Structure formats: structure tokens, C-alpha cells
Amino acid sequence: MRRPFFDSLHSTCILSALVFSLGLAACDSEDDFSNIQSGLISANPEVLLFPAVPSGQEASQELSLRNVGSAPITLINIRLSRAEAPFEIKLQNGDPLPETINLEADESGGQILQVIYKPTEEAIVEADDEVIIETNSAQQRELRVPIRSSDAVPDLFVSPNSLDFGSVDAGEMSELTATVRNVGQGTLLISSLYIDGSEDFALIIDGEVSTPEEFSAVNIEAGGSQDFTVRYAPPSTGPDRGDLVILSNDPQANSFSLPLRANGAAPCIQLTPNNLDFGSALLVENREVETPNTQPLIIESCGGAPLKISRIEFEGSEFGLISVLEPNDQGDLIELPATSSGEAFPSEAIELGFWPIAEQNYGGRLLLYTNTQADPIPVDLFGRGVENSCPIPVVSNELFEVAPLEIITLDGSPSADPGGEVKRWVWNVIERPSGSVSQVVENLFSNADPAGGGPEDDQMTPNATFFVDLAGRYVIELEVYDNLDQVSCAPNEVATVVIEAVPEKDLHIQLVWATPEDPDETDGSGTDVDLHFKHQNANDRWGSSAGTWDCYFQNSSPDWGNVGDFLDNPSLDIDDINGAGPENVNLDRPEVDVNYEVGAIYFRAESLFGEAGRDPSIEHASYVTLRIFARGELLGEFVDRELNRLNQLWHIATINWCEDPLSCPVVTPVDRVYEEGEYAQ
């Protein structure tokens, strides 16, 4: 577990002792040195704590200064510790700072300053940023108020907070992994990593034991993580202890020690998330009312002994528990059992609340007192109070019953915000038929080729477009954000659109495939598997050798059955050439007592996938799935047949059509793969 976000800071004042010899010289005078009076300035808060703020935006905090001494005091030269720090200091009303501020030694002796945080790409908060206030007081020449921000610097977080190997027999070996995460915004540099303690522990990198001299520095970008393995191999029995020491550029934890334990049970705690940001939260009347601003904190027991939490405290009166925790018979608020090998960590979630009463930024900490360590474990808390109600997502149409290949317009324009205006509409596909690759887009590049997609959805507009590429059920959710970036919340977190795609034709054939080695099956570079739908007049021939009796990409709408009657003609409605499908064949009125055959040919085995350095001679494997629908019902499904060489033919099934809908059609599986040259083409 990482160290606290900011250290405890104290403003101390020291009254200089009168020189003894000076006191002797004046012992006969009538001066009374016990009556010396002086001003003394205090600041609230003692630390200016800012939440994460995007570049180009700003946030402000009020800094209240009060004269708590016995005489007037003058404040001069109020400034930042760095001229280039991304802050501005003003009076509370927005006026510039005067050269001096005089504070009386009574109730009127106060002044409120406004500190404005304005981050840019070039200017961020540094660990030693402070507001400096000089005074004319002999007791207190200056006051320094530290400034901290959650987005200013790298922030090291290690999970779990200890590695407990449990019981390992002499001569045996066990390995555990510690994950180092950078939860800050700057790049985290790990300059050294080594084991301190028992020699039975070893750091393993790339499968080899690593020594401090061999370790190479590791950079972890903001939001990134890196796993490190520790091996325990005891030559004899008995408990062992040590530490995995991490030296980094985290200003709050430049030297971090992760406890290592073996052959001795110990408790361990893991928290998710490691800090809580309530974001823009609705104002409440006071601390006693129910708050809509809640966040869960998950506590996990990851050690060989039960985890106990005896006390929970909050720094910042605006944060607290939603429900009171009652202690057990031993006085613990939470007790979780030890973890068992191969099973999920025992866990418990507690609900935290945020009670902002003013439109400003808030910062605080949750302190957990556990049996894992002597010091409390901190969790940083952030939030911003806003006079605002959550926006409400509403869609114009909640249900679409369509045929495959339809183009749907998603409309979120009825969405509303009681306290402002809706600014962003975010659509998410949460359920789709297997093999579907269609995405929500702003519009289509071409309505004649909807499978070609379109530009990424513009979240600043309420409408979007969706192409129904396969038969089946789709569920799309809409969430909205208002002008304060407040997302829609319970009980109206999302609006839901359901699409039921049912084939209208008597026969609907659907082909999709997956190529695991293709890094992006939706781009313009990928494998090509072709769907073939044959009439019985083709006999054993496929493709061009079958003449007009094979419906495929080169013969996409042949004239079968009665000449000039398009209802008994099949059509290839989608031909995908660069990825994962789908390809569809539809036939409105099949011929009675005719056998149709379905196959797939591996037409192109893409090797480069648009990436330099790949071997162009490799024919990558694709896994092909075919579905047969008759009168809207799924009649047959053939899943994940591997094709791995050019011009392989997968002869999938035959379909016999007759007049009786209760007994026909009949699908007969063939499921045989032919190599090139083994079939007529």
C-alpha cells in the first residue's frame, strides 16, 4: 500500500527566550517584558488539496487567514514558491492582492484568499509548491501552506500490500507477483528494485534472479502497471521475513518497502479503488440528510491470517460512511477470513458518502486501522460540490423489430437535464449476436455499403447510426453528460434500446469468422473467407466452374428457377473482404424439392495485417462459423471450423426444401474440408 497522499503538516511558532544578561541589566527598571505582544497568523486549510483538473480548465480553493495572536499583524509579499507554478492568488472577491494586508487582533482580524489552479500541458503541480506569506511578526516571519494535486506527479501504488507465501517446505519453491501501478499523472521511474532481508527471497526478472547491480530502470506511464515476481525457496524450515524495496521518483514514496513473509501466517489488505473521486456531486442541505453521492470501497483479505479493521476515521467532515458499522464481540468493525489457495480473496464492500454544502472542491482522507501494520492505511478522497441535478437519458425509440442489414437511427434528443443542459450522448453496445462487428457511428460512409462503417460517433450530437449486420438480439445503452460533466445517475443511469433482428426471407445464410492473429479485424486489412450458396444443378462444381448455379461474390444475384422471377433468386447482400465478416445470402422463395448446398472458401490468407515486419508467407488460421435461418428460425449452426490454407473449401451442409413447413427444410450436415485441387473450381 502506498504512503499517504500528503504528510501531516504543522505550523509551529517558537517564542525566543529573553537573553538572561539582558534581563539582569533591566532588573531594576520598571519595564515589564512579560507583557510583550505579537501577532500570529493561522491558515485554514493547512494544506491546499486540489483534485484532478484537465489541462485548460481550472479549479479554486479558499484559503482563510486569521490573526490568532495578541497584537495586529501585517502580511506582506504573499506569493507562490515557484513563479511558473500553475496557480494564481487573488482576494476572495477576485481583486488582485494588495501589497500589504493588515489584520487586527480581534474577530475582524481575518482575510480569505482565493487560490486558482490552472494546469496546462507545460505547467503542472510539483511536490514542493507552496503559498508563502511573510509577516512583520517577530514570532512568525513567514507561513508556508503546501499545495498538493492528485494529477501533478507520479503516484506509486503496490498491490497487494504484502506478499505472504504461507507455508513452503524446505527444498520447495513458491512464486508470488506484486503489481506496481502508477495512479498519478506523471511518468513513474523505478530506479532500483531489490530484496532486503532473508536470502531465501529473490527478485525474478525475465525468469532469472535479479541483483541490485543488474536491475535496469523501469518507466511506468500514467495509468500503467508492471508486475514483479518474488521467489521464495527456503533451504530449511522456519519463518522468514524481508522487504521488496522500490526506489522511485514518487515524491510521497521515493523509498517504498513491500513486506515479504513466509512460513508464518500474516494478514494482508487490498483496496479497490486505492482512492475515491466523487467527481461533480450534488449539493446537500447539511451533513445530517441523505446524500445521493456514494461510492463503494472494496476491502479484500489477501493474507494467511484473518484481516481485522478496528477503527475507521475520516479527515474532512464532508466524507463519511453511508451506514454505521457495528463492532463484533472482539471490537472489530470488519473481520475477513484468511485467503485460501486457488480461491478468490474474501471481501467486503463499504459504501462511502460525500456531503458537499458549497460549490467548491473538497479533499479528505479515509483512515483504516488494521492488524496489517501499525500506521493507519489512507485512502485519498476527492469531490466537487455542484448545484446540479443529474441529466436524464431518454431515447425516442426503445425497441426496433427489423430484418438483418437494416440501418438504425439512434435518437437521444429527448434526454434532458433539470439543472442545465445535456452536452454529450454516449452509446454503448452491451449485447450483440456472436460474430457481429458493427459499431455505433455518427453516419455511414455509404448507405449502399453499410458494412463499410462510418466515422466515429460524435458524442456532442444526440443522434447516431447503427448497422444491423447479423440476425439476433442487440442491446444498446445511452448515458448522457451535462454542461458540468455530470453523468446520468440512478435511478436513470442509462436508457436502453433493444434491436430484435429476425430474417424476413424464407432462407437466410450467415457467415462470420475470427482470425486470432489479426490485431484489428475491423480495419481494412484482414483475411477473406467467401460464402458460397449452390443450386443442385451445379453438381460437384464450385465457383466459376459452376456457371450461374453458385451464388458468391462473382455471381451475387443469379437468376434461378422461373426466368425473370426474382423471388426465387438468391442474393449475396454482404461481401466482406478484409476481416471477420459477416457475409449474408438471402432467398425469398426457395424451389420445392430442390437441394441447396452451402460452403465457404478461404479466398485470401492475409499475412501482414497492415504491420511492418510480419512474414508475408504465413497463412494465418481463421475460424469460421455458419448459421442457417429458415422462416426467421435458427435451423442450423456450425461453429469455429479452422481454415488455414488458401483455397481450402469447407463443404458445410445441404438444405432440402419442400412445401410442408412442418417437415421442411431439412438441413444435412456435411462438415468436410477439401484442399485446393480436391474439388472442381
Give the pLDDT confidence score for residue 609 in this predicted structure: 59
Half-sphere exposure of 534 (CA within 13 A, CB side): 24
Can you tell me the distance from the alpha carbon of 217 to that of 193, in angstroms, rounded to the nearest whole number? 9
Closest listed residue to residue 391, CA positions, set 485, 463, 459: 485
Can you tell me the distance from the alpha carbon of 471 to that of 507, in angstroms, rounded to the nearest whole number? 12
| Sequential DSSP letters for 130-159 | EEEEEES-SS-SEEEEEEEETTSS--EEEE
- Please give the order of strands across the beta sheet that includes 87-91: 41-44, 59-67, 110-117, 87-91
HEC sequence for 446-481: CCCCHHHCCCECCCCCCEEEEECCCCEEEEEEEEEE
In the chain, the domains with their CATH numbers are 37-149 (2.60.40.10), 156-264 (2.60.40.10), 271-386 (2.60.40.10), 399-501 (2.60.40.10), 507-674 (2.60.60)
Per-residue DSSP letter, 345: P
Which whole-number Å values give the CA distances from 513 to 39, 214, 436, 641, in the listed order?
A: 79, 46, 10, 9
Can you tell me the distance from the alpha carbon of 189 to that of 249, in angstroms, rounded to the nearest whole number? 6
Residue stretches of the chain with pLDDT short of 50: 1-35
Can you tell me the distance from the alpha carbon of 181 to that of 246, in angstroms, rounded to the nearest whole number? 12
Give the pLDDT confidence score for residue 608 in this predicted structure: 59
Q: C-alpha cell of 382?
A: 476527492
Angle at 513 between CA 557 and CA 555, to 5 degrees: 15
Mean of per-residue pLDDT scores for the chain: 86
Give the pLDDT confidence score for residue 292 in this predicted structure: 85
Contact by Cβ (8 Å): 239, 305: no
Can you tell me the distance from the alpha carbon of 453 to that of 396, in angstroms, rounded to the nearest whole number? 23
* Residue 198 burial (CB count, 10 A): 18
Burial grade of 533 (CB within 10 A; 0-12, 13-18, 19 or more)? buried
Can you tell me the distance from the alpha carbon of 68 to that of 551, in angstroms, rounded to the nearest whole number? 91
| Sequential DSSP letters for 26-63 | TTTSS--GGG-----EEEESSSEEE----TT--EEEEE
Can you tell me the distance from the alpha carbon of 179 to that of 137, in angstroms, rounded to the nearest whole number? 50
Give the pLDDT confidence score for residue 148 in this predicted structure: 79
* Bridge-based pairing state of the strands 377-386 and 275-282: parallel
Contact by Cβ (8 Å): 503, 632: yes
* H or E element that contains 23: helix 20-25
Per the DSSP assignment, residues forming a β-bridge with 529 are 602
CA 139 to chain centre: 50
Give the torsion sign (CA, 611, 614, 616, 621): negative
Residue found by looking up cell 468436410 in the block: 672
Phi, psi of 566 (to 5 degrees): -75, -15
| Sequential DSSP letters for 264-318 | S----EEEESSEEEEEEEE--S-TTS--S-EEEEEEEE-SSS-EEEEEEEEESTT
Phi, psi of 434 (to 5 degrees): -60, 130
Query: Residues with Cβ < 8 Å from 241, sequence gap 6 or more?
Result: 197, 198, 259, 260, 261, 262, 264
> CA dihedral defined by 306, 311, 314, 318, rounded to 10 degrees?
100
Per-residue DSSP letter, 545: G
HEC sequence for 377-430: EEEEEEEEEECCCCCECCCCCCEEEECCCCEEEEECCCCECCCCCEEEEEEEEE
Closest listed residue to residue 130, CA positions, set 81, 64, 97, 79: 81
Q: C-alpha cell of 410?
A: 439512434
